[in-house]
Amino acid sequence: MRYAVLSDVHANLEALRAVLDDCRGEVDAVLCLGDLVGYGADPIPCVELLARDAAALVAGNHEHGVTGRLSLGWFNRFARAAAQWTAERLDDDHRAYLGSLPLTAVVADATLVHASPDRPGQWEYLTSAEDGFRAFAAFPTRLCFVGHSHQPGYWSLGSAGRRRRMGAVDLALENGRRYLVNVGSVGQPRDRDPRACYAIWDAEARRIAMRRVSYDVAAAQGKIIAAGLPRFLADRLRSGT
């Protein structure tokens, strides 16, 4: 089986379509790690597209924010404004769907979670080396895929010691090692590369390949501005920060 592993779409329909086009015909299933909504101007099309096409989805903090399961006081002012705008546009069916998403899922030998497998509903960011290594005790599978920080990279533990590498790198899964992999962000990268980021996991070949995909950034920016959302949310798409 080959899987496309996506995270942090953030209502960016242009980026999501570009990623799905990029992996079409190359993967058997799509997995999504949450934050379908927030920041961008197309929450409902993104939700509907992934509800139709994804084999497994888990909730992110933005799903909990727009459905009232997480206080909007948790968010910064830009994220809070986008969450309020999004919540006003969801109907009961979309709200119920987003509110029903689990915090974790297991597919083959991989755990899927938005933030950290340790207390996933606390929405902790895994950014430092120690953040990631501490999380290994919280998942039983060989692999764990995460998003949330919008920064791709991986942590690995095995008899030969610890490994940590940042960036959209390709990874050969070695015998005797476990891996925690951040697949980056489809809709709002923050690693100074504005292209959409996702991963292809080939379970049989035991490889994970990170991919970067160009998309129509100007169109996504224009929708954000036209919607009356904070201009900062549009500007950061161009810089990837």
pLDDT above 90: residue 29: yes
Q: What's the CA gap between 214 and 14, in Å, rounded? A: 10
Q: How confident is the model at residue 199 (pLDDT cuts 50, 70, 90)?
A: very high
pLDDT above 90: residue 90: yes
pLDDT above 90: residue 208: yes
pLDDT above 90: residue 231: yes
pLDDT above 90: residue 32: yes
Question: Are 101 and 83 within 8 A, CB to CB?
Answer: no
pLDDT at res. 16: 98
Would residue 117 count as lying in a domain? yes
Q: How confident is the model at residue 143 (pLDDT cuts 50, 70, 90)?
A: very high
pLDDT at res. 168: 87
Q: Average the pLDDT over 133-153 and give the result.
A: 97
CA distances from 99 to 61, 66, 95, 184 (A): 11, 9, 6, 23
Would residue 205 count as lying in a domain? no
Q: Average the pLDDT over 79-102 and give the result.
A: 97
pLDDT at res. 160: 87
Would residue 15 count as lying in a domain? yes
Say how many domains are in the chain: 1
Which domain does 186 fall in, by range?
2-198+212-239
Q: Average the pLDDT over 16-36 and give the result.
A: 98
Would residue 207 count as lying in a domain? no
Would residue 206 count as lying in a domain? no
Q: Average the pLDDT over 126-147 and give the result.
A: 97
pLDDT at res. 226: 98
Would residue 54 count as lying in a domain? yes
Q: Average the pLDDT over 144-149 and give the result.
A: 98
pLDDT above 90: residue 127: yes
pLDDT at res. 159: 87
pLDDT at res. 27: 98
CATH number of the domain to which 11 belongs: 3.60.21.10
Would residue 203 count as lying in a domain? no
Helix, strand, coil shares of the chain, percent, nearest 5, are: 35, 25, 40
Q: How confident is the model at residue 191 (pLDDT cuts 50, 70, 90)?
A: very high
Would residue 43 count as lying in a domain? yes
Q: Average the pLDDT over 43-60 and give the result.
A: 98
Q: How confident is the model at residue 31 (pLDDT cuts 50, 70, 90)?
A: very high
Strand order across the beta sheet in which 110-113 lies: 104-107, 110-113, 143-146, 177-182, 153-158, 161-166
pTM above 0.95, yes or no: yes
Q: Average the pLDDT over 206-222 and give the result.
A: 98
